[in-house]
Every structure is written in C-alpha cells, then in structure tokens.
C-alpha cells in the first residue's frame, strides 16, 4: 500500500529521541528504583482551583462544540494578558487557541511554510523541533548555539546561514534544553536580521514564567517594529503545572490568525470549552505556581553545579530559566548517549543524552530539575561516581 511522504520525513524524529526515558520507564515498571531526570514534568500538581473551575464549567454545560479560534472569554483574557505584558494593545483577533504548544507550533508552520522553504533554528533545540519543520516539507537550517556565549543565538551566525529560501527564524526563549534567555538587545539585533531578509519570527515562549529570579525576560512581541512578522506560542502546561490539559495559544498579526483559522477548523474545530474557562482563570492572575517552581529549579541548578562541576572532568552549564541543567561529559570519553545508557544500567539514574537535542550537545547530558532535593542529591552522587569510574578506566 502507498503512504504519504510525511511519515518518511518524520522517521526517526519521534520516540527514538526518548530511548533512555522509555528504557527507564520500563525498568521502573519492573520494580527497579530508578531516579528519573529525563522529562520536564512540573513538580507540583495542577492547582485545585483550576480543576474546580474546569469541573464547574462541565457541570454548567460547557461541554459542547467550540470554534476554530477559541472561546471568547479565553481570547479576551489572553489579549489582556499580552497587552499588559508587552506594553501595547494586542487584540483578541490576534489570538488562536489550540491544544498545547506543540499543536500551536505544528499549525503555525503549516500556515507559514511550503516544501523547499528553510527554517533557521538554534542547535541544540527541543527534541520535537526537527519534526515540526520536516512535516511541512521545509528544511531545517541549524544555527550553532555556543556554550561560551551562554547558548544565546548570535545574529551574525543567523545571517551567515540565510539563503533565498529562508522563510522563518525559529526562536525558543527561555530555551530548552540550555535554559538560556535572550536579552532585549539580542532580540532587537535578530529582529533587524529578520526585517532585512523578510523573515517570519516564530517564538516558543512556553517557559516565560519560569525565568529564574533576577533574570530579565524579553519577547519579539515587545518590539512594535517586529509585530507584523512575529508569532509566539505558549500554554499553561509549564506555568500552571497543567500539561495534561493540553491548552495552548498562538499570538500574531490579525492576518496570520485569519489565515490559520481554516487549518484549525480542519484539524480540530475547537477545543473543549470547559478547559478554555479553566485557562482563562489561569492566565488572568499572577503566575504564583510558576514563581515557586522557578525558585526551586534555580536552587536545584545550583545544587547540580556544586555537586558536579569540575568532578572527573565534568562541566555544568548553569541555566537561567526552565526545568533543566546541562552537563558536559566529554571528559569521560563517552558520547552523551553512551554515558546516559551506562548510567541507567549501572547506577539507576535516567538522564537525556545531549544528542537528542542536536549536534550542538554531542557529549552532553540534560538533567531534569523537577524531582525533590533529596533525589537530586542522590542522583548527583551517583553521576559523580559514574564519571569518576569512567575517567579512571579511560586513563
């Protein structure tokens, strides 16, 4: 039988990147006490008041069909939120609600890209980005993110890779997996490159509310001169510890939202109204859940650095935001994948290989900061011992 080309374009870009995580889950199912530091699952439950609001809405009959753009109450709440945060008026006609950031980015790229187009994206990158681009038939153009620059994308590196087929500059700030946060001056310089070469700017800002204390956040939406070419995506998955509710949105020019609407209607014809009501409550108040997580994750990142940096040649990159820390394990002589697999087999600690996030993290591992402090401490002891043994064997 014949199939479309999309499955071929996505071959190897799905669960294969999560090999270590899936092995860890299988080991836990067998009864092994694995310390799991792989995925970015918030470390607190969804706030009870949000669940109660979803329940109230269901009991009130908010279980019918919606529409392709989103429920008016939520659209208005998001318009108020973004207008207040970005310092300029953003209308409800500029917002589209979809199930989670992943769906938002999928639909955004379907709206902006044709086969043969090129998307510039920092390497390393979140594990699904390559697939999000490949599904359209467009080509991913990696732009190296350098550790010595704090993994913040360099406008000169972007411009050096632009061709006549470049269409989108894809940003992620705060960044997964590095925890880097672009500054306003970074975004202004990147915006000049985008304006010069007539590029769209698509920004994944799902970690906006998880910036660590003292670190400033900036968005392309802050700059009015970039408004006509900027689309940002986010959700309540991280900020409100509600990943299973799959509630996200994109904000962009009104014309973009109008062009996106037929695709949204074809894909879903509306998200659940009761989840929309819950999300409207979530985005209308201060991000107190996120603030608590940001403080804990910053403290745990400091724990990781104290425990591992300089031990057996390991080097820790301390993040500025998000749920993860990076460790350079090249001094052990192993790739990130081989280090992660041997760590799981011998020490029952599961981490993500850096290679799952692009060539830029070959020889690194990513650690989740979403488990309690005691488990972090135990995991760091095991990682340090594992690295020391590997270093001795290689000597």
| 3-state SS class at 254 | helix
* The predicted structure's pLDDT at residue 7: 83
Same domain? 210 vs 147: yes
The CATH number of the domain holding residue 191 is: 3.40.640.10
CA–CA separation, 26 and 130 (whole Å): 26
Name the domain boundary from 284, 308, 332: 284
Q: Which residue range is the domain that position 141 belongs to? A: 48-284
Asked whether residue 1 is assigned to any structural domain, the reply reads no
Same domain? 279 vs 298: no
Asked whether residue 134 is assigned to any structural domain, the reply reads yes
Stretch 138-143: mean pLDDT, rounded? 98
Instruction: Check pLDDT > 90 for residue 6.
Output: no
Same domain? 386 vs 311: yes
CA–CA separation, 324 and 43 (whole Å): 12
* The predicted structure's pLDDT at residue 85: 94
Same domain? 258 vs 298: no
CA–CA separation, 234 and 246 (whole Å): 11
Asked whether residue 275 is assigned to any structural domain, the reply reads yes
Name the domain boundary from 241, 269, 284: 284
* The predicted structure's pLDDT at residue 395: 64
Reading phi first (left if > 0) and then psi (alpha if -120 to 50, else beta), residue 35 is in beta
Q: Are 358 and 210 in contact (CB under 8 A)?
A: no
Asked whether residue 301 is assigned to any structural domain, the reply reads yes
Q: What percent of the chain has pLDDT over 90?
A: 91
CA–CA separation, 263 and 260 (whole Å): 5
Asked whether residue 167 is assigned to any structural domain, the reply reads yes
Same domain? 132 vs 61: yes
* The predicted structure's pLDDT at residue 156: 98
Mean residue pLDDT across the chain: 95
Name the domain boundary from 262, 284, 306: 284
Instruction: Check pLDDT > 90 for residue 177.
Output: yes
Stretch 68-76: mean pLDDT, rounded? 97
Instruction: Check pLDDT > 90 for residue 15.
Output: no
Same domain? 213 vs 64: yes
Same domain? 23 vs 97: no
Torsion of CA 376, 381, 385, 390, to 10 degrees: 20
Stretch 127-155: mean pLDDT, rounded? 96
Asked whether residue 271 is assigned to any structural domain, the reply reads yes
Write out the two tokens for 367. Answer: 């650690």
Question: How would residue 2 be classed by pLDDT, with cut points 50, 70 and 90?
Answer: confident
pTM score of the predicted model: 0.95
Q: 252: burial class by Cβ within 10 Å (0-12, 13-18, 19+)?
A: buried
The CATH number of the domain holding residue 37 is: 3.90.1150.10
* The predicted structure's pLDDT at residue 17: 80
Stretch 65-75: mean pLDDT, rounded? 97
């Amino acid at each position: 039988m014949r199939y479309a080309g999309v499955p071929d374009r996505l071959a190897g870009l799905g669960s294969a990147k999560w090999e270590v995580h899936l092995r860890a889950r299988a080991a836990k199912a067998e009864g092994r006490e694995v310390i799991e530091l792989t995925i970015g699952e918030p470390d607190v439950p969804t706030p009870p008041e949000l669940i109660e609001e979803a329940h109230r809405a269901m009991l009130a009959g908010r279980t019918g069909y919606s529409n392709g753009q989103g429920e008016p109450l939520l659209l208005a709440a998001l318009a108020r939120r973004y207008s207040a945060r970005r310092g300029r008026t953003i209308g409800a006609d500029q917002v589209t609600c979809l199930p989670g950031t992943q769906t938002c980015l999928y639909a955004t790229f379907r709206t902006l890209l044709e086969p043969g187009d090129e998307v510039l994206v920092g390497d390393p990158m979140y594990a699904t980005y390559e697939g999000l681009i490949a599904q359209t038939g467009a080509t991913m153009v990696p732009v190296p993110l350098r550790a010595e620059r704090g993994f913040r994308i360099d406008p000169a590196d972007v411009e050096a890779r632009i061709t006549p087929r470049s269409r989108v500059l894809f940003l992620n700030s705060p960044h997964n997996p590095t925890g880097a946060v672009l500054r306003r001056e970074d975004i202004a310089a990147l915006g000049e490159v985008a304006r010069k070469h007539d590029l769209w700017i698509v920004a994944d800002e799902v970690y906006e509310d998880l910036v660590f204390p003292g670190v400033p956040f900036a968005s392309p939406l802050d700059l009015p001169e970039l408004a006509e070419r900027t689309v940002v995506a986010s959700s309540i998955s991280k900020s409100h510890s509600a990943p299973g509710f799959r509630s996200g949105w994109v904000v962009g020019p009104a014309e973009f939202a109008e062009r996106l609407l037929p695709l949204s209607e074809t894909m879903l014809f509306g998200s659940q109204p009761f989840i929309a009501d819950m999300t409207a409550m979530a985005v209308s108040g201060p991000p107190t859940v996120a603030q608590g997580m940001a403080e804990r994750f910053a403290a745990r990142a400091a724990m990781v650095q104290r425990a591992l940096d300089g031990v057996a040649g390991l080097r820790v990159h301390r993040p500025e935001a998000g749920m993860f820390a990076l460790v350079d394990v090249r001094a052990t002589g192993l790739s990130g994948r081989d280090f992660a697999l041997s760590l799981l087999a011998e020490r029952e600690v599961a981490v993500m290989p850096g290679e799952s996030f692009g060539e830029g993290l070959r020889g690194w591992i990513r650690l989740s900061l979403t488990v309690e402090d005691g488990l972090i401490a135990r995991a760091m002891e095991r990682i340090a011992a594992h690295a020391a043994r590997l270093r001795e064997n290689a000597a």
